[in-house]
Amino acid sequence: MSDIEAFMNPSKPLRCFIRDDDGGWDDDKLLRLLRAFADRGLPIDVAMIPIATTSALALRLQREDLNAAHGIGYHQHGFAHLNHETQGRKCEFGGSRSWPMQHADIADGQQRLRDLMGSALDPIFTPPWNRCLPQTLSLLDELGFAAISTIKGSALAASAPLAQIPVTIDFQKRSNGERLQWPEFCGYANKQMAGEATVGIMLHHQTMTAEDFQHLFELLAGWQRSGNVEFCAMRDLLPACAVAAA
């Protein structure tokens, strides 16, 4: 069986969630993506950038019923999605930021999103570039977050006081700066999914091409048909006590 066939037809039961990052950027494209998920009865979660989330966007999402009733969840992403590191990998919550600065960013972002989105907001945090300091997790815990979402293989996995809801597959995966072609991508995705009972797919709507949309919805339709995939929202993966407190 080819990598593409194996990816499109999962032979074992899987749970799957989809996390789209960078809510607040390219609102029209975000709404198109969310509408496409709602129309297909598929859940999706959006990591919202607090400073980029406008009241106009919050109103549009509300008016179009793009909400939990249609399986759509929202949670907090990086405050301004800025890289503060002068060396090494990009990071908004890294070593160049003091504890008070990190605290202010996360607390202010949380307040802003709560004001704009109310109960639509889930107690989940996705750090930009899927990374932050281990100490950032204590801040999140203190501020009432129940889970952090990074990516499979993240160094944070073993050290978190919070629940972990890592994504498994970067749908727009690059290698040496170039997007993987679909057959190569399917090979990468199969490797990432090996041994996983729950698979998270990470999207960035802003940079998705028409071809990405087509591949994504062909894939998800195939998984729906297979009967082997249970689609869920990220909030369904939170510990039960966190859901009761939210």
Binding site for Zn ion (CB under 5 A): 21-22, 128
Residues 6+ apart with CB under 8 A from 208: 29, 33, 172, 216
- C-alpha distances (whole Å) from 202 to each of 105, 115, 199, 224, 242 are 23, 26, 10, 18, 23
Strands 169-170 and 174-175, bridge-based pairing: unpaired
Closest contact distance (angstroms) between CB of 129 and Zn ion is 7
Closest contact distance (angstroms) between CB of 95 and Zn ion is 19
Of 83 and 96, nearer to Zn ion (C-beta) is 83
Of 22 and 123, nearer to Zn ion (C-beta) is 22
Q: How far apart are CA 25 and CA 228, in angstroms?
A: 34
Of 124 and 186, nearer to Zn ion (C-beta) is 124
Question: Apex CA 25: angle with CA 20 and CA 26, to 5°?
Answer: 95
Of 49 and 186, nearer to Zn ion (C-beta) is 49
Closest contact distance (angstroms) between CB of 127 and Zn ion is 9
Q: How far apart are CA 147 and CA 235, in angstroms?
A: 9
Q: How far apart are CA 153 and CA 18, in angstroms?
A: 18
Of 21 and 27, nearer to Zn ion (C-beta) is 21
Closest contact distance (angstroms) between CB of 56 and Zn ion is 21
Closest contact distance (angstroms) between CB of 185 and Zn ion is 20
